[in-house]
């Protein structure tokens, strides 16, 4: 890759409206940066849109990350969702669809009950610097759409590094 290719990729990363970049990849990268490598190792990470374009990797259906908390060896999974719009006409946050939700539940079960967390960047700000962020345990994200009374319980400072303690991610 030449210097100009690198510059073009950098511009595309920050400005593109393509599905690979818009919301998805940039938000995943933002979330990843909030997990300090001193405390967390990445065990699994979904493949990029570009990699899947050549040959689809089935594990791309899993949550975006599986992290290991180094101090205890605990494993947990994270699915990242950025939602730039507001709530739907019923006043709910649409974070998933029914099939995705079932896949995440099946993943947790197949992996022996591994905790899965849905990290949502929401309205305002940008996908790589959201104004609001929520970290919702999968068992509390029971539906593909959530009322504010549910997701607001899991609000967090979107610029603060993540903290893992006794099975809870904050």
Distance CA 141, CA 134 (A): 11
Measured in residues, the chain has a length of 170
For residue 110, give both structure tokens. 């197949």
Residue 123 has what pLDDT?
74
- pLDDT tier at 17, thresholds 50, 70, 90: very low
Element (H, E) at 10: helix 3-15
| Whether residue 22 has pLDDT greater than 50 | no
Cβ contacts of 36 within 8 Å, gap of 6 or more? 161, 162
**Residue 102 or 3, more confident:** 102
Residue 42 has pLDDT above 60, yes or no: yes
pLDDT of residue 10: 42
pLDDT for residue 20 is more than 60:
no
Torsion of CA 75, 166, 122, 108, to 10 degrees: 40
Give residue 6's pLDDT band: very low, low, confident or very high (50, 70, 90). Answer: very low
169 DSSP β-pair partners:
164
Q: What is the pLDDT of residue 8?
A: 37
pLDDT tens for 59-96 read 567 899 999 999 999 999 999 999 988 899 999 999 99
User: For position 92, what pLDDT does the model report?
Assistant: 95
> Would you place residue 3 in the very low, low, confident or very high pLDDT band (cuts 50, 70, 90)?
very low
Whether 13 has a pLDDT exceeding 60, the answer reads: no
Per residue in 93-147, pLDDT (tens digit) is 999 999 999 999 999 999 999 999 999 998 766 788 899 999 999 999 999 999 9
Q: What is the CA radius of gyration of the chain?
A: 16
User: Over 50: is that where the pLDDT of 27 sits?
Assistant: yes
Identify the pLDDT of residue 49.
Answer: 62
> What is the C-alpha to C-alpha distance for residues 60 and 48, in angstroms, rounded to an integer?
8
Is the distance from CB of 73 to CB of 126 less than 8 angstroms? no
């Amino acid at each position: 890759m030449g210097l100009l290719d690198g510059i073009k990729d950098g511009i595309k990363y920050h400005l593109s409206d393509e599905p690979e970049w818009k919301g998805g990849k940039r938000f995943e990268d933002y979330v990843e940066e909030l997990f300090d490598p001193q405390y967390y190792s990445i065990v699994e990470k979904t493949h990029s849109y570009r990699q899947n374009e050549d040959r689809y990797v089935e594990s791309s259906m899993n949550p975006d990350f599986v992290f290991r908390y180094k101090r205890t060896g605990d494993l947990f999974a994270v699915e990242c969702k950025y939602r730039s719009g507001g709530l739907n006409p019923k006043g709910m946050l649409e974070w998933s669809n029914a099939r995705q939700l079932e896949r995440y539940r099946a993943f947790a079960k197949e992996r022996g009950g591994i905790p899965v967390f849905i990290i949502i960047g929401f309205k305002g700000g940008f996908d790589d610097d959201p104004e609001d962020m929520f970290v919702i345990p999968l068992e509390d994200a029971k539906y593909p759409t959530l009322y504010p009374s549910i997701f607001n319980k899991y609000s967090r400072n979107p610029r603060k590094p993540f903290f893992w303690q006794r099975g809870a991610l904050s």
